[in-house]
Amino acid sequence: MEEQHFEIATALVQLISSEEAYQYRIVPHKEEGNQWTFKTDAVEQENLSQELSIVFGKHIILEQETQNNIQRYLETNYRKRAKTKEQKSLTYSEDFLLNIIYEAKEIGSSDIHFEVFEKQARVRLRIDGKLMERYVVSLKEYPKIINRIKIMASLDISEKRLPQDGRINLTTEQEDFDIRVSSLPTLHGEKLVLRILSKNSLHASLDNLGFTEKELTTYTTAVQKPNGIVLISGPTGSGKTTTLYATLKLLNTNDTNILTIEDPIEYTLEGVNQVQLKQNIGLDFASTLRTFLRQDPDIIMVGEIRDVDTANMAIRASLTGHLVLSTIHTNSAWATISRLIDMGIPSFLIASTLNVSVAQRLVRKLCTSCKKLETTLTKKELNLEQFNGIEEHYKAVGCPSCYQTGYQGRKAVYEIIPITEELVNNIIEKKIEIHQYLKDNKIATLKSNMIALVKEGITSVEEVYPFLI
């Protein structure tokens, strides 16, 4: 028997709102001119048909569907806005753009993508690290939406040939939050990405980010040293910034002077002196770091080490008695050392200044309401050595709690290598292979921590597989 699929085309999904879909227990099936066809599990279809005709101003046809199937359609395609009792009185603007932003905020989306192609434009939301198409927009309406965003973000609406960056601040009765806006000229028009910077993220502390007890002790010991460098590596969107801000929260006391140089400033921290990078006027990482050293700092946070000048200034700052925190793009904690050496930083300087090297990734957590116990692995998975010995694991299924995705929320996975005397010698002698050292000292790698999460039933084999190949 062929498996039934419950996804609906985006053009049909957006015909009605999430509230209307759940209130009337209907899902769009066809749109033919002035005639809309819905699937429903309602018994009194004649009355419902008449009411929907008045509400939507269309000729409505209803097709009978089972209650279970309608529920699956609704959960798969429409996310309910999470409104608490206090939020019920909150009224949002009917403006299409603001509705998209508020909807994305409520369902926990991190980014909103506005994209234009030859025949149509679309809006996608990133939820738990995965993009989901939410709206399609006509080519006629798309420029109006783009211009409205650019005006809100104080961008130049006449400039369509060059990328631009801006910021929007929105306030509701519950929360004040910022949105980072980035525009990019593409073949058929401008693409905009809106990054939602929720102040709630500032409540994150090192205790609940995903460190194991041993890793947390190692990390906090390293960041509480009076000088040295702490480097966090990982790809874009792996949670490095959240870890950095949680670290600054721990270190932010009345007797410390903390300076940061960021591009862009994602969250504002009370008591921390934050500087926004402005390369067009010469305010870059390296030049700002030189100025920082004359500002009597205790702790310096550099948004990212991108080049040799920034790396050299960070080393210099740590050598003169300051603690420096930063991020770098590498695949593992130990690869950070190789990257610095490749940049031209002398190995003896790296060895004498680096306190700890951290790598991190984000993996989706299985929904606890519907995850299913499995005892077998696929042939593809069995080919990976890391899965040897896994007899029981959990699989993503999908239920109302997780909107049929099988996952709910994400967890950071870390690899933390403290720089010991033995590693100092390895770095000076440029010995790259430390696999046996990690094994002897029981230091968990990214891969071993991911396998542990699979064994604990926190995530699935499918979720970690791409990180292990």
**pLDDT tier at 169, thresholds 50, 70, 90:** confident
Integer Cα distance of 201 and 365 in angstroms? 18
pLDDT given at position 347: 92
Amino acid at 401: S
pLDDT given at position 444: 92
**Is the pTM above the cut of 0.85?**
no
Chain segment 305-340, per-residue pLDDT in tens? 988 999 999 999 999 999 999 999 998 999 999 999
Q: Mean per-residue pLDDT for 71-84? A: 75
Chain segment 410-428, per-residue pLDDT in tens? 999 999 999 999 999 989 9
Q: How many CB atoms lie within 10 A of CB 29?
A: 17
Evaluate if residue 390 carries a pLDDT over 90.
no
- Rounded to a whole number of angstroms, the CA Rg of the chain reads 26
pLDDT given at position 458: 95
Residue 423, CA distances (Å) to 101, 209, 218, 323 in order: 48, 27, 15, 20
Least confident span in 122-126, 236-240, 334-338, 352-356: 236-240
Integer Cα distance of 22 and 428 in angstroms? 64
Chain segment 23-66, per-residue pLDDT in tens? 899 999 999 888 999 999 988 888 888 889 988 888 999 999 99
Cis amide linkage into residue 185, ω under 30° from 0 = no
Query: Phi first, then psi: what are they for 328, rounded to 5°?
Result: -155, 150
pLDDT given at position 382: 76
The long-range contacts involving 265-273, CB below 8 angstroms and separated by at least 24 positions, are 266/180, 266/195, 266/197, 266/241, 267/197, 267/199, 267/201, 267/202, 269/202, 269/245, 272/248
Q: At 189, list the tokens.
A: 């028009």
User: Dihedral sign, CA of 303, 308, 310, 315?
Assistant: positive
**pLDDT tier at 81, thresholds 50, 70, 90:** low
Collapse the DSSP code of 373 into the 3-class scheme (helix H, G, I; strand E, B; otherwise coil) and give the result. Answer: strand
Which domains does the chain show, CATH number per domain? 10-77 (3.30.300.160), 88-198 (3.30.450.90), 202-467 (3.40.50.300)
Integer Cα distance of 25 and 42 in angstroms? 7
Q: How many CB atoms lie within 10 A of CB 468?
A: 16
Collapse the DSSP code of 63 into the 3-class scheme (helix H, G, I; strand E, B; otherwise coil) and give the result. Answer: strand
Evaluate if residue 90 carries a pLDDT over 50.
no
- Sole residue written with tokens 């906090």: 220
Query: Phi first, then psi: what are they for 363, rounded to 5°?
Result: -120, 145
Task: Give strand ranges (E) for 219-378.
Answer: 228-233, 258-262, 273-276, 299-302, 323-328, 354-366, 372-374
Evaluate if residue 85 carries a pLDDT over 60.
no
pLDDT given at position 269: 86
Q: Mean per-residue pLDDT for 384-400? A: 85
